[in-house]
Structure 1
Amino acid sequence: MDGAAREDARRWLAEEGVTRVGADEWTDGEHPGRRITTVDVAVRWTDQVFVDERLDPAGRLRLAFGLLDLLDVYWVTAEIGFALADPEAGLSGQAFWDGYRQRLEAPEVGEAVTYSLWVDWFEDARTSADAFGEVLGRDVGGLRADAPEPLLRRGGRVLEVSGPVPWPVKEPALRAAAGVPALHRQVFRGLLNGYHSVYGDLEPSAALTLLAELDLPPDTEHLAPLRRVLTAGHAHHHRSPDAWAAATGHGPADRPV
C-alpha cells in the first residue's frame, strides 16, 4: 500500500465531508448526520476522482489507488478499470500496472487487489496473458531463492490467483517458483485453483510434475486428491465433476480460493 496516496485520499474525502467514524461507518457529506458504509463510500465517490478538474490524469489515477488503499473495496478497482478503458480519461497503462505491482509487493496487500486481478484480468481471455505478463511474467527470470522479498511477495500473490491464466502463459513462472521453497505453498494454490476454477487451465502431466517438486506437508489439505485427479489425467473439475468426489471419497469440495 502507498501510505502517502492513502492519506491524500483520506484528505480528499474529508474535503467532501466524508470521514470515517467507525470500523465500517462514515459520515455522509451530502446528508449530515447520516452514516454510510465503506462500500457506500467506494460506490458513491470513486467515479468522482476521475472528473476532479484540479488533478491531471496521473494525479487522478494516484488518488484512485489511494482510495483503494484506504477502502479496500473491489468497486474501486472496477472504476479504475472503467477509466483505463476510456480514451478520454487519458490514463497511462504503464502507471496503472505500476500501481498493481507496487501493491502486490507491499508487506500487506488489500484483498480487492488480488480479487480484481483474478476476476477482471485473469478470467478474461482478452486480457489474461497481457495482465499476467505485466504483474509477473516479465520478471520470471528473477524468481530465485535469493530474490528480493518484494518480488517474492508479488510472485506468490500472483501465482495463487493464476488459476484462470492459460497454462502456456503461466507455466514458466510456476516452474521458476517451484525452485523457490518460500513459494511452494503459492505454487500449490495456483495449481489447485487452476483445477477448480470455472475458467481454470492446466496440463495434468506437467502440473503433476510440478506438484512432485514441491516440499509440502503430506497432510496439506487437498494435496492428495489433487495428485490423484492429475494422475488420472483430469485437467478441470468442471469437465470431470465426479473425479474430485472419487478422489476425496465424498462429495465435491467447494472451489478453493
Structure 2
Amino acid sequence: MTSSSTAFRRTGERAENRLAFGLLDLLDEYWVTCEIRFANESAEAPLPADVLWDGYRQRLEAGREAEAVTYSLWVDWFEDHGTSATAFAEVLGDDIDRVVAERSEAPLRRARRVLECSGPVRWTVKELTYRTAMRLPDLHSAVFRGLLASFHDVYGNLEPAAALALLDQLDLPTNTQHLVELRHVLAAGYENHFRSPGAWDDAVRSCS
C-alpha cells in the first residue's frame, strides 16, 4: 500500500470514528460503544489510538452524564486483562500527575469517573494512579469508591495490605457508607467479595 493510500485510509477511519462518537453523543447508548470497539478490533487495522482515546477522554470530561462511556470502560476495556492496562493508562494513568497538579474541573471530572469504575484493573496497574490521586482531597471519595469496587466487582483486583494503607490515608467522613466494612475485610486479608463470599457479611455483623 502506498503512503498516499495509507493516509487516505487513515483519514477515512478518523472520520468514521468521529461519526461514531457523534452518534454516541446523540443516543447515549452503550451499544454504540460496542460498535466502536468492534471497529477497533477489525481484521483490517485498529482505529487510530489518538482519536479513539481522545473520544473517551472528552466524554469523560463532559458535564453531561457519561454512563454509557463509564460502563463501556468497566465491562469492555477494564474487565479484559488484554486491554485494561492500555485503556486505564489512556483515560487517566498517563496524565494523572498533570490532572492533580492543574486541578482543572473537566480533567478532575474524568479522574473521578475513571477511578470509580476502575475496580477490575489490575492492582499493579492502578496503584500508582490511586496514590497520585490521593494528593488531592477532592479525589479521595473517588479513590474510596475505586477501592470499594476493587473488592466487590466480580473481576475486582487489589492487594489487601496496600489497599488498606491507602484507605487509612483517605480523608473521608466517618459515616461514609461501607468504610468500616471495607477496612475490616482488608485488615483480615481478603482480596475479593466473590472469592470470599462470607467475608463481607461477617464484616457487616461485626461492625453493626
Q: Same fold (TM over 0.5)?
A: yes
Which of 113, 125, 130 is the aligned partner of 1:174? 130
Tell me which residue corresponds to 2:163: 207
One-letter amino acid of the counterpart of residue 170, structure 1: K
Tell me which residue corresponds to 1:13: none
The whole-number CA distance in structure 1 between the counterparts of 2:123 and 2:89 is 13
Name the Cα RMSD after superposition.
1.6
Structure 1 unaligned spans of 5+: 1-54, 251-257
CA 1:216–1:95 in 2, change beyond 3 Å: closer, same or farther? same
Tell me which residue corresponds to 2:6: none
Q: Which has the higher contact order (CA 8 A, sep 6+)?
A: 2
The whole-number CA distance in structure 2 between the counterparts of 1:96 and 1:134 is 10
Deviation at 1:205, TM superposition (A): 0.9
Which of 46, 49, 52 is the aligned partner of 1:96? 52
CA 1:229–1:85 in 2, change beyond 3 Å: closer, same or farther? same
SS of structure 2 residue aligned to 1:141: helix
One-letter amino acid of the counterpart of residue 110, structure 2: R
Deviation at 1:90, TM superposition (A): 6.5
**Is 1:67–2:5 an aligned residue pair?**
no
- The list of structure 1 runs, each at least 4 consecutive aligned residues, that deviate by more than 6 angstroms after superposition, is none
**Is 1:163–2:108 an aligned residue pair?**
no
CA 1:145–1:91 in 2, change beyond 3 Å: closer, same or farther? closer
Which of 64, 82, 96 is the aligned partner of 1:108? 64
Deviation at 1:240, TM superposition (A): 1.1
Count residues with an aligned counterpart: 196
Tell me which residue corresponds to 1:189: 145
CA 1:248–1:99 in 2, change beyond 3 Å: closer, same or farther? same
CA 1:208–1:122 in 2, change beyond 3 Å: closer, same or farther? same
Structure in which a larger fraction of residues adopt helix: 2
- What percent of counterpart residues are identical? 59
Structure 2 unaligned spans of 5+: 1-10
Alignment of 1:127-142 (within 5 A): 127-142=83-98
Which of 83, 91, 108 is the aligned partner of 2:39? 83
> Does the 8 A contact of 1:122 with 1:128 survive in 2?
yes
Alignment of 1:112-123 (within 5 A): 112-123=68-79
1:4-55 CA-to-partner distances (Å, cap 9, x unmatched) read xxxxxxxxxxxxxxxxxxxxxxxxxxxxxxxxxxxxxxxxxxxxxxxxxxx9
One-letter amino acid of the counterpart of residue 199, structure 1: Y
Return the TM-score normalized by structure 1. Answer: 0.73
Instruction: Report the structure number with the largest CA radius of gyration.
Output: 1
Which of 57, 60, 65 is the aligned partner of 2:13? 57
